[in-house]
Structure 1
Amino acid sequence: MEIAFTSEQEELRAVMRAFLAEHADRRRLIDSGAPHDAELWRRMATEIGVQGLAIPEEYGGSGSGTAEMCVVFEELGRALAGGPLLATAGLAAPALLACADEEIKARYLPGIADGSVIATLALVEDDGDWETGAARSTAKESGDGYAVDGAKYFVLDGAIADLVLVTAATGTGTALFAVRGDAPGLTRRAHETVDPTRGLARLDFASVPARLVSSDPSVVETAVDHARIALAAEQAGGAQWCLDAAVEYAGTRHQFERPIGGFQAIKHRCADMMVAVEAARSAAYAAALTPHTGADLAVAAACAQICCSPAYTEVAAATIQIHGGIGFTWEHDAHLYYKRAKTGELMFGTPDWHRERLARLTGITLAGNTEGASHGR
């Protein structure tokens, strides 16, 4: 199977790389303490149309697909650009697109496409479990809608979202509901995170007015699998930056009157990093560029995360090691990439959890489970 991008998709990559190099300043964002760069978000929408790339034209988008989003997320990962795109276009938009209600799509997707709405999906509860089955949060009919009660944790960009899609239990099962970010009864508290470039929040719901989006459990599973593939592309991009930084430093840093890249131990380490990066990129591209639905989508997402999450962590850690003392300092960006890699490894399920899920999907019986693997945490 040949996996390759079209010339238009490669042009999108060049545009995104140049745009992020000029406008995405991760250090400025961290120093400002702002939850995200609102101006960068606005310009991505108005100048490139990033938020609406994968949204059909009838809802205000471009009608592109996962391949274009893969390019975008890979470049965002390479630049370590903070922002709510993963939550909005990688998680919430696929959930809305997967639902069968055209009125719901027409109500919420145009705002996402034009960048005026930041959206997210609230799934995880206090056990940290990314399984999309039963929820302990509840939704009861109230007037012409519903009222949601409960709490959600580790919600991507939950503190700034204008639209929150939340899972909650009804009398007939778990369903997905839409809640306004400023709805009465909704309390949002930002988590203190290891990765300063990515926002997570706890959301508490106290009889919060909500609109039913879908009662189909596959909608949330589909959305999270799309987000896993987007995260894999981001991880591949971040790993490539780490490899490039390590190789460049190994060629310029001298010890014993020669570049440290000339020592066999550094050569071997860089070679191992390149193998990991290429494997991660191949897994992310295979998941994004090959059409998948249903169980095939779940298998592709699991395979991408099994490969990309540990690869990024391994390469980011090796980058710090190759840089030596400077790699551990706040002034160098290596530690920021490592923090993104490590937290990403826990997002949407750990690699062990994805291995267990892949085994279930493909009918493989496991001899034993890794501790905590069944909880994706």
Structure 2
Amino acid sequence: MTGGTPRRSAPAPAPDPEPDLLYSDHEEALRDAVRSLLADRSDPATVLARLESDAPYDARLWRSLATDIGGAGLLVPEKLGGQGASAREAAVVLEELGRCVAPVPYLTSAVVAVAALLGCDVAEPEVAALLGALAGGGTVGVLALPLATAPGAAADGPVAGGTGFGSVRAAGDGALVGRVTSVADAAAAETLLVPAQGPDGPALYAVDAAADGVRTDPFIPLDLTRPLGHLTFDGAPGRLLATGGRARAAVERALLTGAGLLASEQLGVAEWCLAETVRHTSERTQFGRPVGSFQALKHRMAALWLDVASARAAARNAADALATESPDTAVAVAVAQAYCAPVAVRAAEECLQLHGGIGMTWEHPAHLFLKRAKSDELALGTPGRHREALADLVALAAP
């Protein structure tokens, strides 16, 4: 080069940090605490017995998990009364809850509802107060959208089933009118976060579930450990939390966080099914030897173990992406849901089949895990919906 000052090339952008898929010591300590609690309060016999009652969830177990352990406030900043943890810790709790299909509103209240509020202006007194109440575990909050609503779907406008901001209308004084179907844990909720079409566009309102003008109609779902209900608003008084783009972003954040962490619950379901299948086939004998020693069953369980190990990586990647606010979070969540949901169903089906007829009886818990796996497969977007989203995210051309 002759004359002048040589040009310096721009520094290459720093590569994104690799996701941490390993559990830390404090995450393992949290797992031990939650697992010990669930072993004591939510063993299969206890869960089966509770299904015969009219209680929508186990209030005593929820109080211990939410308040004593502090699980309800994991995603809430410390200054607002929470634990100031991250999605990684919430994923650990959900994995353990999935291992025993515990009937508590953790996903709906401590994850989805909290994420929606964090998407609002937390400096607003109403938002801060609600976050503090949810973090303390004394209040159960629910986002009033159908359980099947996928990330991105709430912005599509009203459709059959109540998905979208247009399913509920809000007057200028905040009075809400409309109907939303198949809302998870609606009967357990004390505070409803309602996406609605307000006078100036989309908005998010808080409504007391016991207020005049609110009706909850429970019905019998496939998964009795996660009750569903239809919500009807007839002039119910709503308190405005967010409007416009912020309201849309808050709901989208809630759905994305919920879908990403649901993968950890699905992982827990699959882990229990695999462990129970191995235990059963190692104890049941046929022709004088354990049936698990037969080569055909060994191959099936080995294949299932590989599926579960891969599901663990996908679920942990989604939790880590949410915790670090990675730019690839949407991709990680779509991958996790597209993969973990079918694995949970396959693990539950294998568990049922390899148990033989015993898995078909009400007294054995295998059916609880199959029903939770099938319910979770539809929750927050089907695997097909997430595969379509993934194709759009990575610009994969349609065939």
Query: Which residue of 262, 277, 284 corresponds with 2:315?
Result: 284
Counterpart for residue 140 of structure 1: 170
Counterpart for residue 182 of structure 2: 154
Counterpart for residue 87 of structure 1: 108
**CA distance, structure 2, for counterparts of residue 186 and residue 31 of structure 1:** 27
**CA distance, structure 1, for counterparts of residue 259 and residue 39 of structure 2:** 25
> How far apart are 1:137 and its partner, in Å?
2.3
Work out whether 1:15 is the aligned partner of 2:33.
yes
Unaligned runs of 5+ in 1: 368-377
Counterpart for residue 3 of structure 2: none
> How far apart are 1:237 and its partner, in Å?
0.7
Work out whether 1:328 is the aligned partner of 2:349.
no
| Paired residues of 2:75 and 2:111 also in contact (CA < 8 A) | no
> How far apart are 1:293 and its partner, in Å?
3.7
**CA distance, structure 1, for counterparts of residue 344 and residue 110 of structure 2:** 22
> How far apart are 1:169 and its partner, in Å?
1.4
User: 3-state DSSP class of the match of 2:241?
Assistant: strand
| Paired residues of 1:59 and 1:105 also in contact (CA < 8 A) | no
> How far apart are 1:119 and its partner, in Å?
0.5
User: 3-state DSSP class of the match of 1:79?
Assistant: coil
Matches within 5 A, 1:1-377: 1=18, 2-24=20-42, 25-103=46-124, 104-124=126-146, 130=150, 131-133=153-155, 134=157, 135-143=165-173, 146-215=174-243, 216=246, 217-290=248-321, 291-293=323-325, 296-367=328-399
**CA distance, structure 2, for counterparts of residue 66 and residue 204 of structure 1:** 32
**CA distance, structure 2, for counterparts of residue 142 and residue 221 of structure 1:** 24
User: 3-state DSSP class of the match of 1:159?
Assistant: helix
User: 3-state DSSP class of the match of 1:31?
Assistant: coil
Report the number of matched residues. Answer: 363
Amino-acid identity (%): 40
Amino acid at match of 2:291: I
| Paired residues of 2:168 and 2:179 also in contact (CA < 8 A) | no
Describe the shift of the 1:70–1:170 C-alpha distance in structure 2 as closer, same or farther (beyond 3 A).
same
After superposition, what is the alpha-carbon deviation per residue over 1:254-293, rounded to whole angstroms, capped at 9, x for unaligned? 0111110111111111011111111111111011123454
**CA distance, structure 1, for counterparts of residue 304 and residue 233 of structure 2:** 44
Describe the shift of the 1:45–1:124 C-alpha distance in structure 2 as closer, same or farther (beyond 3 A).
closer
| Paired residues of 2:65 and 2:72 also in contact (CA < 8 A) | yes
> How far apart are 1:47 and its partner, in Å?
1.8
User: 3-state DSSP class of the match of 1:203?
Assistant: strand
User: 3-state DSSP class of the match of 1:174?
Assistant: strand
- Which stretch of the first structure deviates more once superposed, 100-109 or 112-121? 100-109
Amino acid at match of 2:375: T
Q: Give the TM-score of the pair, scaled to structure 2.
A: 0.88
| Paired residues of 2:127 and 2:241 also in contact (CA < 8 A) | no
**CA distance, structure 2, for counterparts of residue 190 and residue 160 of structure 1:** 10
> How far apart are 1:362 and its partner, in Å?
2.1
Q: Give the TM-score of the pair, scaled to structure 1.
A: 0.92
Amino acid at match of 1:6: S
| Paired residues of 1:95 and 1:220 also in contact (CA < 8 A) | yes
| Paired residues of 1:124 and 1:153 also in contact (CA < 8 A) | yes
**CA distance, structure 2, for counterparts of residue 357 and residue 313 of structure 1:** 21
**CA distance, structure 2, for counterparts of residue 295 and residue 122 of structure 1:** 28
Amino acid at match of 1:314: R
**Greater than 4 Å deviation, 4+ residue runs:** none
Amino acid at match of 2:143: L
**CA distance, structure 1, for counterparts of residue 37 and residue 168 of structure 2:** 43
| Paired residues of 2:183 and 2:230 also in contact (CA < 8 A) | yes
RMSD: 1.6
Unaligned runs of 5+ in 2: 1-17, 158-164
Describe the shift of the 1:96–1:294 C-alpha distance in structure 2 as closer, same or farther (beyond 3 A).
farther
**CA distance, structure 2, for counterparts of residue 300 and residue 288 of structure 1:** 9
Amino acid at match of 1:322: L
> How far apart are 1:33 and its partner, in Å?
2.8
| Paired residues of 2:261 and 2:318 also in contact (CA < 8 A) | no
After superposition, what is the alpha-carbon deviation per residue over 1:191-215, rounded to whole angstroms, capped at 9, x for unaligned? 2111111111100011111112122
**CA distance, structure 1, for counterparts of residue 354 and residue 171 of structure 2:** 58
Q: Which has the larger radius of gyration?
A: 2
> How far apart are 1:334 and its partner, in Å?
0.8
User: 3-state DSSP class of the match of 1:321?
Assistant: helix
| Paired residues of 1:186 and 1:206 also in contact (CA < 8 A) | yes
